[in-house]
Amino acid sequence: MINFSDIFGDDKKRKGKGKDSHHIDFSSLDNEEESSLKDGAKIPADKNIKFSDPGTKLKRVSPREKKEIEDLYRKSVSLAERVFNSEKEIKTSEIDEIKKLSEILVGYSRNGSQELFEYIFGRLPYDVDFMILNLVNVCILAIEVGVGLGYSDHELINIGIGAFLHDIGMNKYRSLFSQPRGLTPQEKKKIQNHPLDGVNQLKFIHQLLEPLTLRIVEQEHERMDGSGYPYGLKADNIDEYAQIVGMVDVYEALTHKRSYRNSYSPMEAIKIILQDKTSFSPKILKAFLEKVGLYPKGTFVELNTKEIAQVINQTPKMPSCPVVGIVYDYEGKKVDTEKIIDLSKNTKIYITKSL
Q: Are the CB atoms for 249 and 138 separated by under 8 Å?
A: yes
State the amino acid at position 185 in one-letter form. Answer: P
- In this prediction, residue 47 carries a pLDDT of 35
Q: Is the peptide bond before 282 cis (omega within 30 degrees of 0)?
A: no
Q: Are the CB atoms for 201 and 234 separated by under 8 Å?
A: no
- In this prediction, residue 33 carries a pLDDT of 29
Domains of the chain: 35-293 (1.10.3210.10)
Bridge partners of 310? 300, 325
Rg of the chain over all Cα atoms, to the nearest angstrom:
20
List for the chain the helix, strand, coil content (%; round to 5).
50, 10, 45
* Strands of 308-313's sheet in order across: 340-342, 323-328, 308-313, 300-303, 351-354
Our measurement of the distance from residue 350's CA atom to the centroid of its chain's CA atoms, rounded to an integer in Å, reads 23
- In this prediction, residue 176 carries a pLDDT of 84
Dihedrals phi, psi of 45, to nearest 5 degrees: -65, 155
- In this prediction, residue 348 carries a pLDDT of 94
Give the whole-angstrom CA distance, residue 142 versus residue 349.
31
- For 272-304, what is each residue's pLDDT tens digit? 999 988 999 999 999 999 999 999 999 999 999
3-state secondary structure of 136: helix
Bridge partners of 300? 310
Give the whole-angstrom CA distance, residue 294 versus residue 316.
11
How far apart, in Å, are the Cα atoms of 235 and each of 66, 226, 243, 323? 41, 8, 9, 35
Which DSSP helix (H) or strand (E) runs through 327? strand 323-328
Walk along the chain (355 residues) and give the pLDDT tens digit of each residue.
345 555 555 443 444 444 444 334 433 333 322 333 333 333 233 333 333 333 334 446 788 998 999 999 999 999 999 999 988 889 999 999 999 999 999 999 999 889 999 899 987 766 889 999 999 999 999 999 999 999 999 999 999 999 999 999 999 888 788 788 888 889 999 999 999 999 999 988 878 899 999 999 999 999 999 999 999 999 999 999 999 999 999 999 999 988 888 999 999 999 999 998 899 999 999 999 999 999 999 999 999 999 999 999 998 789 999 999 999 999 999 999 889 999 999 989 999 999 8
- For 156-177, what is each residue's pLDDT tens digit? 999 999 999 999 999 988 878 8
Tell me how far apart the terminal alpha carbons of the chain are, to the nearest angstrom: 26
Dihedrals phi, psi of 127, to nearest 5 degrees: -90, 135
- In this prediction, residue 20 carries a pLDDT of 44
Q: Where are the alpha helices (DSSP H) in 111-219?
A: 117-121, 130-148, 153-164, 174-177, 185-191, 194-202, 211-219
Give the whole-angstrom CA distance, residue 99 versus residue 116.
18
Q: Is the dihedral of CA 259, 261, 262, 268 positive or negative?
A: negative
Bridge partners of 324? 311, 341
- In this prediction, residue 61 carries a pLDDT of 76
This prediction's pTM: 0.83
Give the whole-angstrom CA distance, residue 87 versus residue 62.
40
Give the whole-angstrom CA distance, residue 63 versus residue 223.
42
